[in-house]
Amino acid sequence: MRTAQPPLGNSPRSAVGQWSLFILMTGWILSSCTPAPSRSSSESRPGFTSPSTGHQSFQASTFYTKEMNPSPTGYGGGVPYDKLERYPQLNVLYAGSGFAKEYKEDRSHTFAWEDLVHSKRVTEKTPGSCISCKTSGIEKVWNEEGWGYAARKMPEYVAMGLGSIGCTNCHEPNTFQLRVAQPGFKDAMANRGIDLTKASKQDMKTYVCAQCHSEYYFEPGTDRVIHPWEKGLDAASMYAYYETKPKGFDRDYTHTKSRTPLLKAQHPDFEEYSAGIHAAARISCADCHMPKQVQGGKRVTSHAIGSPLNTVETSCLWCHKGKTKEWMITRVRYTQDSVAELSNACMDALVKAHEAIMEGESRGIPTSVLEKARSQLRHAQWLWDYTASANSMGFHDGTGSMRNLARALELALKVPNLVGH
């Protein structure tokens, strides 16, 4: 992410109005798109053509690369930077959470375990459930302990010397077929009536990514990984679910200044993708983020997972016939710039909302008024964080992202008035 340069309108009303118009226009544009053909056709070939071809070595070499490439649009990519430094508003918004200690752009899957172990957010009290998406050792741990692993503490697993994400997180080791290893995702999909053992290969090319690139929380008392999809996959449905306080879970942290009980979104990439045009067109995560390459005369899957904009020719132009690399990058940048601009406006408004509640409490305004203001701020910050925490800077679902941010801005701007600030 980066801070967008174009200013918003001079008044809150003009800002919301401009983005409402943008949402309507974007919806019209996307609705006119014709879904692209599914890549599950005969043109697509399995990533592992056979266990004896040697293509696995190509895939392993691309997966375990330590290259860290930025995205051409300036958003996302694999180059780490300090988000708290780039976006100083986050120091206020995340006060009271581990993200106020450290919040960096992620590196590639190769570094997942190393980055977890060395994160300032990890302490001796961090639950073992944090290993669920950071190591290929999760299968062995699960087979030995079941959900008991979640309640153990991170230092125990650090001492085991577990490795980072590897082939078996997504592939059955004997047949190389796609499979899911993350226990919480298996439970969540079963609860949605989806049998992963019967899923098509095209769906599995999304599910193996979705098992970790999705929203979750830790169940109180057990620290089991739970995906909040009982009411739906969108931001509004998940917020409604959280408002029921499932099994006693009512917050990720309490803000240290405004004392607002807040939720912290966790990279809801699968959820955003599910609402977007690519999911509607039956395009999987892997189709764009792991494009096919020719090796030994055969098309095999690259495992250098990253921004499709670094591989436009194989990731995008396969479907977008007649377009150029420059056109694709410009189109994506337009969406991401628009989302970044509104996200930045939301952060500013949320900071002022926290400050207004703090000031109101110091004046001794009624508790009922403070609770109403905190409830509205909680809702606003969730809608903003849902978009800001996803990796696509709104591209997976541009219309939905703008809608969430516009609503977040509207709610946040009203908080100071509620407390008479």
Q: Residue 294's pLDDT is what?
A: 78
pTM: 0.85
Q: Please state the rounded mean pLDDT for residues 188-192.
A: 97
Q: Please state the rounded mean pLDDT for residues 66-84.
A: 82
Q: pLDDT tens digit string along 351-363?
A: 999 999 999 999 9
Q: Please state the rounded mean pLDDT for residues 322-343.
A: 96
Whether the predicted pLDDT of 402 surpasses 90: yes
User: What confidence category does residue 63 fall into, taking pLDDT thresholds of 50, 70 and 90?
Assistant: low
Give burial (CB, 10 Å; 0-12/13-18/19+) of 109.
Answer: buried
> Smallest Cα–Cα separation from 49: which of 242, 217, 265, 293?
293
User: What confidence category does residue 231 fall into, taking pLDDT thresholds of 50, 70 and 90?
Assistant: very high
User: What confidence category does residue 406 fall into, taking pLDDT thresholds of 50, 70 and 90?
Assistant: very high
Q: pLDDT tens digit string along 337-381?
A: 999 999 999 999 999 999 999 999 999 999 999 999 999 999 999
Whether the predicted pLDDT of 187 surpasses 70: yes
Q: pLDDT tens digit string along 245-275?
A: 999 999 999 999 999 999 999 999 999 999 9
- From residue 236, alpha-carbon distances to 32, 96, 240, 293 in Å are 25, 24, 6, 39
Whether the predicted pLDDT of 298 surpasses 70: yes
Q: Residue 56's pLDDT is what?
A: 57
- Percent of the chain scoring above 70 in pLDDT: 84
Q: Residue 10's pLDDT is what?
A: 33
The lowest-confidence range among 179-183, 296-300, 333-337 is 296-300
C-alpha–C-alpha distance, residues 419 and 421, integer Å = 6
Whether the predicted pLDDT of 59 surpasses 50: yes
The lowest-confidence range among 45-49, 238-242, 333-337 is 45-49
Whether the predicted pLDDT of 1 surpasses 50: no
Q: Residue 26's pLDDT is what?
A: 42
HEC letters along the chain: CCCCCCCCCCCHHHHHHHHHHHHHHHHHHHHCCCCCCCCCCCCCCCCCCCCCCCHHHHHHHHHCCCCCCCCCCCCCCCCCCEHHHHCCHHHHHCCCCHHHCCCECCCCHHHHHHHHHCCCCCCCCCEHHHHCCCCCCHHHHHHHHCCHHHHCEHHHHHHHCCCCCCHHHCECCCCCCECCCCHHHHHHHHHCCCCHHHCCHHHHHHHHHHCCCCCCEECCCCCCEECCCCCCCCHHHHHHHHCCCHHHCCCCEECCCCCCEECCCCCCHHHHHHCCHHHHCCCCHHHHHCCEEEECCEEEECCCCCCHHHCHHHHCCCCCCCCCHHHHHHHHHHHHHHHHHHHHHHHHHHHHHHHHHHHHHHCCCCHHHHHHHHHHHHHHHHHHHHHHCCCCCCHHHHHHHHHHHHHHHHHHHHHHHHCCC
User: What confidence category does residue 396 fall into, taking pLDDT thresholds of 50, 70 and 90?
Assistant: very high
> Smallest Cα–Cα separation from 349: which of 405, 395, 393, 294?
405
Tell me what the pLDDT averaged over the chain comes to: 86
The lowest-confidence range among 38-42, 117-121, 204-208 is 38-42
Whether the predicted pLDDT of 87 surpasses 80: yes
Report the range out of 60-64, 160-164, 233-237 with the highest average pLDDT. 233-237
Q: Residue 61's pLDDT is what?
A: 65
Q: Residue 62's pLDDT is what?
A: 62
Q: Residue 380's pLDDT is what?
A: 98
Q: Which amino acid is at 349?
A: A
Q: pLDDT tens digit string along 8-51?
A: 333 333 444 444 444 434 443 333 343 333 333 323 322 333 33
Q: Residue 305's pLDDT is what?
A: 84
Q: Residue 295's pLDDT is what?
A: 77
Q: pLDDT tens digit string along 215-225?
A: 999 999 999 99
Cβ proximity of 293 and 49 under 8 Å: no
C-alpha–C-alpha distance, residues 82 and 106, integer Å = 10
